[in-house]
Amino acid sequence: MANFDAENGAGGAILVVGGGIAGVSCAIEAAEAGCPVILVEKSAYLGGHVAGFHRYFPKLCPPPCGLEIDFKRVQNNPRVAVYTLAELESISGTPGHYEATIRIAPRHVTGACTLCGACAQVCPVEIPDPFNCGMSRTKAIRLAHRMAFPAQYFIERGACASGCDLCMHACRYKAIDLEQKETKKVLHVASAVFATGWAPYDAAKIDNLGFGKYPNVITNVMLERMVSVDGPTGGKILRPSDGAAPRSIAFVQCAGSRDQNHLPYCSGVCCTASLKQATYLRDRYPEAKISLFYIDLRTPGRLEDFAARTIAANGVELIKGKVGKVVEQADSRDLEVTAEDVLDGKKMTRLYDLVVLAVGMVPQTGSLPAGMSLDDFGFAASSGPGLYAAGCVKRPAEVAVSIRDATGMALKAMQNVASRANHG
Amino acid sequence: MADALMVQPDHAFIREVIRDSGGELKKCFQCATCSSVCAHSTEVRPFPRKQMLEAQWGMGNRLLGDPAIWLCHDCGDCTARCPRGARPSAVMDAIRLAVIKRIAFPRFMGSVASNLGGAVLLFIFSALLLLSIAVLPLGGSFARPLIYGEMFPKARLEPMFYVVGVYVAMALLVGMMRLVRALRATGVQGAILPALLPALIEITLHRRFASCGSGQIRRWGHLLVFSAFLGLAVMGTAVGVGSMLGLIDTPLPMLHPLKVFANLCALVLAVGAAILVWVRWADQEKRAGSSFGDWYFLVLLGGVGFTGILTEAVRMGQNLDWMFTIYFIHLCLVLTLFLSTPYSKFAHFLYRTIAMAAAWQESQSPARGQAVAGGPDVALPEGPGLPHVI
């Protein structure tokens, strides 16, 4: 989709690293203001975590709707070049004059792909689907997800059986090229924005909460996939152990957050996200018992109203007290959840069918340039001149805040382009 | 807020607890992880979350009568899980030391065992007392073979220890009465006498240590020290009374059953104390949260056991200087141990027992550790109600 010559361009372009909601927003805002943009994304599709979400808060509308609009804008704008399966290898230079090298992994599927799916049908390799947090199986050759953009299959070559070329023979459109090699490109850009995003905290590290040991302990990110119609359960929220409908659900807030043994900071979105997820459960299970264990309910600003409304309308029981222990009952695989209710000073152990850990955000700083410093919590601290961070790599944020930040960073990056034009 | 609470912070108490617990008390943000990971904290009396708040607010009087501070066995599970590094187990430990100080009789003795100056003074006092009563004027015999009982005349040494013993017992009795009064004042109503036996059985078997999550080695360390100390106390009293009545002639021969038993106890005591010192030393969090009072307790205990063994060893050598000096140091340490019993961590053997007995009834409630499904007071939207109670 490189609609302009990024490699040998005039150098007045912006490099955006990371194609999640922040990166896409930054790229399209700059491009629509007339600035050439090169967007580099390491996975096979744009949209990042947001592509896997079921609803935004507080409006509770579906993310694919907004993403679709953004993708259309990207597609129609000749000033955006998108590289997927691509990573930044190095960047050096000064504001207005950077040289960046990107490494593009082979997709093995060309633009001739029509999404017919014949290749995936014959593919003999089944692997856990990363898009569904491993809750379902997928093939080595696949479309990352139903809404994937670019709408083009790719092969996870590392998963292929040695010597297998079944997909190539199954493809009527000759869109499969198993011989593709990794390529490198050297880009000349005026500035770069790093929107490398976040990853959910590895809940298995919180060994007292049972994730990874007990199948009915899941994370908030997994629940988000479960409830999506294209998710592993076709939109149903079911207990992983037996596929039963949960009759009681506990949300465990601050699972690994505000904790010096894990993430010392508050991610700021998980409380509202859990309340949002409580609405999913209430919609499907009008009679289920929903409890939310918290330290402090942090739903700042206008989200306070969303929280109050959601709690009242969905019968969410709030228990002030962090969960210290989750133990599985051997036969039923129900979960004993232990906490102290700080407000009445009594300790309780309750049984739940399903436990949802509200895990926080870990900034993905691996591809930040060496000069960009990190704050005490490991988020990108410095911004500019020339190199900027945007979105959740800079601070944990909800989608709307990330978009606003990315838009602002588009402006900062464009200032470098402008000053280059003015001063050479 | 029908019953508003007026907090009058006891600043000295706050400072003391902060100092003795490693300085992180005020980091606690009341998430209650500690109470939920603690194996001993019960449904009706969860701890140490509440105690952390009360310590932050300087509610010394309330903590004075709180049995929960004695139900804690300082295993450190809460400290390991604390998201803020506030060291709840060290805080509970510091609260216990502060309480021991506050119920001390006579009051001015309260702080002798909680700082180096006080401890040194107490040791010097013990040495002077021994010198003035058992050594000077020189009345002992240094005829060969050298016999401790003749170097330090028994006729003066033993009555001195009886007087000290009566004093210590009295101080502990008054402290105990003050503790019971404080427990009652905070509404702990359990009858103590009938619960003493089950509490003692639990203490003897070290059941609570067994259910603590971390540090099984600590259970063994404590069990060794506890048994050896008990053995030596019974032995020492028996031999003392026996020799006073002329029934036993000391020193006992090496193969005398009582001698063998006593030697075994001394060895076990030294090993147990070494284990406990090592546990505290090896565990970074525990070491950082250890106060002078914690080390004083362990070092004195180990010192008594160690010098006791040494005393016996040098008797074999029959060197006048060494025998005299080492036995004298041993006696000084024993006397210091006696005199500081009501004011140091030693007192926990009595106060913990009393508090465990007072709270026995409630800690045995059937609700303990039982998981209950759902809850009675959940607001649900209009509908057919909870269909299923798990």
The segments of chain A whose pLDDT lies below 70 read 1-11, 423-424
Give me the CATH number covering residue A60: 3.50.50.60
Neighboring chain A residues of B52 at a CB cutoff of 8 Å: none
Which of A287, A325, A332 has its CB closest to that of B386? A287
Neighboring chain A residues of B386 at a CB cutoff of 8 Å: 287, 289
Q: What is the pLDDT of residue B339?
A: 94
Same domain, A33 and A85: yes
Per-residue pLDDT of chain B (390 residues), as tens digits, is 557 778 899 999 999 999 999 999 999 999 999 999 999 999 988 999 999 999 999 999 999 999 999 999 998 999 999 999 999 999 999 999 999 999 999 998 988 888 899 999 999 999 999 988 877 776 677 777 777 877 888 888 888 888 999 999 999 999 999 999 999 999 888 899 999 999 999 999 998 888 876 667 888 999 999 999 899 889 888 888 888 788 888 778 888 888 899 999 999 999 999 999 998 898 888 888 899 999 998 999 889 989 999 998 888 888 888 888 999 999 999 999 999 999 999 999 999 999 999 998 877 754 444 444 444 333 333 333 323 222
Same domain, A306 and A408: no
Q: What is the pLDDT of residue B374?
A: 44
Whether the CB-CB separation of A256 and A359 falls below 8 Å is answered with yes
Same domain, A75 and A222: no
Domain boundary among A361, A388, A407: A361
CA atoms within 13 A on the CB side of B201: 5
Same domain, A46 and A90: yes
Same domain, A236 and A262: yes
Nearest-angstrom CA–CA distance, A266 and A298: 9
Other CB atoms closer than 10 Å to residue B159's CB: what's the count? 13
- What fold, for B108-349? Fumarate Reductase Cytochrome B subunit (1.20.950)
The owner of tokens 């100390």 is: B229
Domains B11-105 and B108-349 share a fold: no
SS3 call for A329: coil
Pick from A135, A218, A119, A237: nearest CA to A174:
A119
Q: What is the pLDDT of residue B216?
A: 79
A161 at B interface, C-beta within 8 A: no
Residue A126 lies in a domain: no
A247 at B interface, C-beta within 8 A: yes
B83 at A interface, C-beta within 8 A: yes
Residue A116 lies in a domain: no
Which of B46, B369, B388 has its CB closest to that of A247? B388
Domain boundary among A341, A361, A381: A361
Q: What is the pLDDT of residues A148-200, one digit of tens each?
A: 999 999 999 999 999 999 999 999 999 999 999 999 999 999 999 999 999 99
Q: What is the pLDDT of residue B2?
A: 59
Structure tokens that stand for B122 in this block: 């107490």
B211 at A interface, C-beta within 8 A: no
Q: % helix / strand / coil in chain B, to the nearest 5?
A: 65, 0, 30
Percent of chain B residues past pLDDT 70, beyond the cut: 91
* B243 φ/ψ sector (left φ>0, alpha ψ -120 to 50, else beta): alpha
Residue A297 lies in a domain: yes
Same domain, A339 and A209: yes
Q: What is the pLDDT of residue B307?
A: 93
Q: What is the pLDDT of residue A160?
A: 96
Neighboring chain A residues of B81 at a CB cutoff of 8 Å: 208, 261, 324
Main-chain phi, psi angles of B378, to 5 degrees: -100, 130
Neighboring chain B residues of A247 at a CB cutoff of 8 Å: 387-388, 390
- Let me know how long chain A is: 424
DSSP E strands, chain B: 372-373
Predicted TM-score (pTM) of the model is 0.90
Neighboring chain B residues of A258 at a CB cutoff of 8 Å: 29, 31, 83
Nearest CA in chain B to A342: B32
Same domain, A370 and A346: no
Contact criterion met (CB < 8 Å) for B371 and A291 = no
Same domain, A217 and A186: no
Question: DSSP per residue over B63-115, as a string?
Answer: HHT-THHHH-----HHHHH-TT---HHHHHHHHHHHHHHHT-SSGGGGGTTSS
Give the count of domains, chain A. 2
B133 Cβ neighbours under 8 A, 6+ residues apart: B156, B157, B160
Structure tokens that stand for B63 in this block: 């903590």
Q: Name the residue ranges covered by the structural domains of chain B.
A: 11-105, 108-349
Contact criterion met (CB < 8 Å) for A340 and B35 = yes
B365 at A interface, C-beta within 8 A: no
Same domain, A408 and A346: no
Q: What is the pLDDT of residue B241?
A: 82
Superfamily of domain B11-105: Alpha-helical ferredoxin (1.10.1060.10)
Looking at CA atoms only, how far is residue B47 from chain A in angstroms?
9
Q: What is the pLDDT of residues B177-222, one digit of tens each?
A: 999 999 999 988 889 999 999 999 999 999 888 887 666 788 899 9
Neighboring chain B residues of A348 at a CB cutoff of 8 Å: 43, 372, 375
A331 at B interface, C-beta within 8 A: no
Structure tokens that stand for B221 in this block: 């360390």
- The count of CB pairs under 8 A between chains A and B is 116
Q: Cis omega (within 30 of 0) on the bond before A63?
A: no
Same domain, A188 and A308: no
Residues of the domain holding A319: 202-361
Looking at CA atoms only, how far is residue B216 from chain A in angstroms?
19
Neighboring chain B residues of A208 at a CB cutoff of 8 Å: 37, 81
Whether the CB-CB separation of B389 and B373 falls below 8 Å is answered with yes
Neighboring chain A residues of B35 at a CB cutoff of 8 Å: 321, 324, 340, 347
Handedness of CA A135, A138, A143, A144 (dihedral sign): positive
Q: What is the pLDDT of residue A163?
A: 92
Residue A150 lies in a domain: no
Same domain, A238 and A301: yes
Domain boundary among A338, A361, A384: A361
Contact criterion met (CB < 8 Å) for B43 and A347 = yes
B286 at A interface, C-beta within 8 A: no
Looking at CA atoms only, how far is residue A230 from chain B in angstroms?
29
Contact criterion met (CB < 8 Å) for B31 and A322 = yes
Residue A127 lies in a domain: no
Q: What is the pLDDT of residue A5?
A: 55
A291 at B interface, C-beta within 8 A: yes
The crossing angle, in degrees rounded to 10, of helices B257-282 and B216-244 is: 150
Pick from B214, B276, B285, B277: nearest CA to B21:
B285
Nearest CA in chain A to B377: A317
Residue A176 lies in a domain: no
SS3 call for B226: helix
Contact criterion met (CB < 8 Å) for B84 and A345 = no
